[in-house]
Amino acid sequence: MYRFLKKLCKIKIIRFIDLYLALILTNKKKELLTFAISLLSKYISEGNICLPLSKLHLDINIINKKNKKFIENIKKINKINNWKEILFSYKDLVSDGQKNTPIILINNCLYLHKIWEEENIIFKNFFYNNFYCQKPEKIIKILKFLYKKQDFIQKGAICSALTHRISIITGSPGTGKTSMISKLIFAFIKFFDKHLKINVVATTGKAAIRLTQSINIYFKNISNEVFNKIQKKSIPTKATTIHNLLKINLYSRNIKFKKLNIDLLIIDESSMIDFNLMSIILNILPQKTQLILLGDEYQLPSIEYGNLFKDLCYFKKFSFTRKYLLWLNSIVKYSYKNKNIKNFFFRNFITVLKHNFRYDLNSGIHQLAINIKNGNIRNIEKIFLSKKYNDIEYFNILNINHYKKMISSFIKGYTKYFFYLKNNNIHDENILYKFSNYQVICAIKYGLFGTKNINFIIEQELLNNKIIKMNLKNNSWYIGKPIIITKNDHLLNVFNGDIGITFFDIKDKKFKIKFFSFNNKQNIVLIDNLPSYEIAYAITVHKSQGSEFKNVALVLPDKFYSILTRELIYTAITRTQKKITIYSNKNIFYQSIKSKIQRFSNLKNKINNYN
C-alpha cells in the first residue's frame, strides 16, 4: 500500500507532503488510515475545511492497464462502503470529538482536529448571535440625521448592527460599504452615548488607508456641535490591518493572543478572512464587543482554507424572524416581495446592499459584473456583441499578432503616466494617484500571459521607446518604476499589495520608494530596506484585491487553469472605476465564468440543522 500511495503522489492525486503528514500521525501498517489522512490533507490544501466520507474514493482514468497491482488497489479502495467503521477502529487517532484525537470524524466528514475546533468556535459564536431588542425612538432620531433620503436597506444594516453582537453587510463594489462604516461609527457613538473603544480594520494595508481617509473626511464634515466631548473621543482616527490589530508580523512565533479591550470591531474586506483567522478574532473578543463584517461574497475568498464569508451569506435567502421584522418595521418600513420565504434568525443580522452608487444602471461594467456573478453567459455575449457600452472592451487573443497589439496597448496606457512624470515634480502628491489611472491585472504569475513575463516585456518596451531611462549602476532602478509589496512589514508600515513609486532623492542621492500612507500622507522607504517586492506594471488579481483603479486591463492565459474561476473574473472586473479592457481567448473567458470555486465546509449544514 505504501508503494501505491507513492504512486498516487507521482500522478498528483495526493502530494508527498500529504503522505508525510499521514505518516507522522500514523504508520505504514495502518494503510487505509494513511490513505484517508493523505487525501484529507490534499483536500485542505485545495481550500476545503474537511473531507466528506463520500469523497474517499479514487476517480482515476488508468491509461497504463499493465500495472495490475495499482489497479487492484484502486478497486479495493473504491469498494469500501464502511469507512466510518474502519476509521473509528483507530481509537487512538480518530474520534467524534469527545476525545482529544488528531483526526475528527463527525457528520460523515473527516477533519484535522485544529480545523474542526476552528469551525466549532465560529459556529457557536454565530449560532448564539441573538437579537437584543432596543427602544426604537433613539435609533429613529439617529437615522433621520444620517439619511435625508429614504434608504431602508442601509438603515436596516444599522438597526441590525445595533441589536446583534455580530452583523454582516455584503454588497458589490460601489454599493456604499466604505461610506457605511462611517455611518455605523456615528450610530454607535450616538446610540450608546458613552466613551467607546472602536477599532476599524481591513485585511490589507491599502484598504486600511482608504478606510482612514473615508472616516476622517466624513467626520470632518460633521458639525462639532453634533458630538459632546466624550463622544468625540470615541471617533477612530485611523484604520489598521487585522494582522496589526492582532500583533502578527513576519517575526511572530508561537503567538498567544490576548483578549481585546474594545467595544466595537468593524472589519472590511471580510471575504478575505479564513476560518483560522476568524476563529482567533472570535476567541479574543469579549462578549461585550460587537463585531461588524463587511465584504463581497462573490469576490475571491481567502487564500487559506474555507470560504467563510460566502458560507455565512448563504442565509440571506431566508426571511427575518417575525419578532425582528415587527421591531424593524417600527423604525424602517422593510418589506419583502416574496412573503413565502422561510424565516430564520440568522437572516436578522445579514444585510445585502443592492443600490450601486459607482456605476449607473446603463454602465457596461455594472451589467457585466452582475452577469458574471450570476454565471449568465448568454447575457455576457449580448453585452459584448451590442458594443453600446463605452466602459468595456474585449479583445479576442488568438495569435502572436494579437499578443503584440495587447502589449502595445499596455505601453500606451503607461506612457501617459510617464508623460505626467516628465512634466511634473516627482514629489507631486498626485504621482501615486496618476499611476492608479491604469493597471494591468493578470490571472496568473508565470507563463506568456503571466505577470512576470508581461512586466519584463513592458519594461523592455518602455526602455526601447526611450520612455524610461535605466542606469545599470543603480541595479535597474529608475524614476517612476512601480513596485508592489509581497510581504507585510509593520516596522516600515508597508503591507502586502501596497504599490509604491520610485523617485530619486537629490539630497541623499539615493533611490527611494513612496507609498500611500494614512491621512493623505506618503510613506518613504529606502530601496535597501524594502521587504519582498515585485515590479507592478502587471499584478495578479489576488494582489489587486482591496484596490481600485480608474482603468483596468485584464489578461487571461491562453490555456485553462483551475485558478480561472468566476470569482477571479468578477474580482478583476470590479477593480475598475471607469473602464475594463479584457484580453483573452473567448473560450477561456467563458470557461472561467462557468467554473466556480467549490470549497466544502460543514458550517452551513450545522447552522441549517438547527433551522
Q: Which residue, 307, 285, 289, is CA-closest to 298? A: 307
Calculate the average pLDDT of the chain: 90
Using 50, 70 and 90 to split pLDDT, how confident is the model at 150? confident
According to CATH, the superfamily of the domain at 364-465+536-594 is: P-loop containing nucleotide triphosphate hydrolases (3.40.50.300)
Range of 54-58, 202-206, 416-420, 449-453 with top mean pLDDT:
449-453
294 grid coordinates: 463587511
605 grid coordinates: 449544514
The rounded distance, in Å, linking the Cα atoms of 372 and 364 is 12
Using 50, 70 and 90 to split pLDDT, how confident is the model at 251? very low
How many angstroms separate the most distant Cα atoms in the chain?
Answer: 85
Using 50, 70 and 90 to split pLDDT, how confident is the model at 254? low
438 grid coordinates: 491604469
Q: Residue 442: is its pLDDT beyond 50?
A: yes
Q: Residue 64: is its pLDDT beyond 70?
A: no
Range of 56-70, 250-264, 422-436, 470-484 with top mean pLDDT:
470-484
pLDDT of residue 274: 93
pLDDT of residue 337: 57
Q: Residue 475: is its pLDDT beyond 80?
A: no
Same fold, 127-358 and 364-465+536-594: yes
pLDDT of residue 370: 93
Kindly give the pairing relationship between strand 166-171 and strand 290-295: parallel
- Enter the CATH code of domain 127-358: 3.40.50.300
Query: What are the distances in angstroms from CA 299 to CA 172, 221, 607?
Result: 9, 32, 23
pLDDT of residue 568: 97
pLDDT of residue 261: 92
Q: Residue 536: is its pLDDT beyond 90?
A: yes
| Weakest mean pLDDT among 34-43, 108-117, 164-173, 504-513 | 504-513
Residue range 487-505: average pLDDT?
85
The rounded distance, in Å, linking the Cα atoms of 45 and 84 is 23
- Residue boundaries of the structural domains of the chain: 1-124, 127-358, 364-465+536-594
303 or 41: which leads in pLDDT: 41
pLDDT of residue 483: 95
Residue range 14-24: average pLDDT?
93
Using 50, 70 and 90 to split pLDDT, how confident is the model at 432? confident
Residue range 278-306: average pLDDT?
94
Where are the extended beta strands (E) located within 227-329?
240-241, 264-268, 290-295
139 or 3: which leads in pLDDT: 139
pLDDT tens column, 518-528: 656 788 999 98
Q: Residue 611: is its pLDDT beyond 70?
A: no
Q: Residue 248: is its pLDDT beyond 80?
A: no
Using 50, 70 and 90 to split pLDDT, how confident is the model at 357? confident
Residue range 26-44: average pLDDT?
91
pLDDT of residue 250: 43
431 or 42: which leads in pLDDT: 42
- Enter the CATH code of domain 1-124: 1.10.10.1020
Kindly give the pairing relationship between strand 392-396 and strand 51-52: unpaired
- The answer to whether the beta carbons of residues 365 and 580 sit under 8 Å apart is yes
Residue range 583-589: average pLDDT?
96
| Weakest mean pLDDT among 15-24, 133-142, 172-181, 338-347 | 338-347
Q: Residue 63: is its pLDDT beyond 60?
A: no
pLDDT of residue 119: 96
